């Protein structure tokens, strides 16, 4: 007498049905998950820039001067010979430094969505703003156009690239290097 053996594995139709079901679920779920992740970008950018704003204003309250660089906010001391935003030495005001004001490493600052800001703070012409500016490598900005738009939305509510405290220029789908200014406080 022969014993009946049970089948080993799955049949081709069973595998195809399973793969089809998984593909349909992935096609529905992946865009929904990606949209949910992107929803956190603007608030995250706003919090990051808010922390920098707070650091700059606290620094200014202590030293009575605005910092020239982000690195001025991250150290444990400030030299009397270091220079402020207006390129004037701090002198005796350096003794009032109570830093660090930012818990990040000095130098260029990378935002939560990957945009890299230069260490040196800037301004928008004819204004009294202290602004972050995009870091650049030769002819390319280290901030993408999509990140510039997120910053604009976070600080200006999408006022546009030529209005408000976030200003930049772009060509087609890329940011013009060195043009992004995200102003976080006034001097």
Q: Which tens digits make up the pLDDT trace of 112-164?
A: 888 888 888 888 877 788 888 888 887 888 888 888 888 888 888 876 888 88
pLDDT per position as a tens digit, 87-126: 899 999 999 999 898 887 667 788 888 888 888 888 887 7
Has residue 112 been placed in a domain? yes
Has residue 103 been placed in a domain? yes
C-alpha torsion sign, points 151, 148, 130, 105: positive
CA 109 to chain centroid: 8
Q: Residue 60 belongs to what domain range?
A: 43-186
Closest CA to 180 of 114, 124, 139: 124
Q: What is the pLDDT of residue 30?
A: 81
pLDDT per position as a tens digit, 9-24: 888 888 899 999 998 8
State how many domains the chain has: 1
């Amino acid at each position: 007498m022969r014993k009946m053996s049970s089948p080993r594995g799955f049949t081709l139709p069973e595998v195809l049905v399973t793969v089809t079901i998984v593909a349909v679920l992935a096609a529905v779920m992946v865009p929904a998950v990606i949209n949910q992740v992107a929803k956190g970008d603007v608030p995250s950018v706003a919090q990051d820039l808010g922390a920098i704003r707070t650091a700059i204003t606290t620094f200014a309250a202590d030293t009575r001067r605005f910092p020239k660089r982000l690195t001025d906010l991250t150290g444990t001391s400030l030299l009397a010979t270091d220079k402020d935003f207006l390129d004037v030495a701090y002198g005796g005001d350096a003794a009032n430094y109570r830093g660090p004001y930012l818990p990040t490493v000095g130098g260029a600052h990378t935002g939560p969505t990957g945009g890299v800001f230069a260490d040196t703070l800037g301004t928008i012409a004819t204004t009294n703003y202290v602004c972050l500016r995009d870091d650049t490598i030769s002819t390319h900005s280290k901030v993408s156009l999509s990140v510039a738009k997120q910053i604009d939305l976070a600080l200006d509510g999408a006022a546009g690239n030529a209005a408000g405290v976030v200003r930049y220029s772009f060509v087609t789908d890329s940011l013009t290097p060195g043009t992004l200014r995200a102003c976080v406080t006034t001097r």
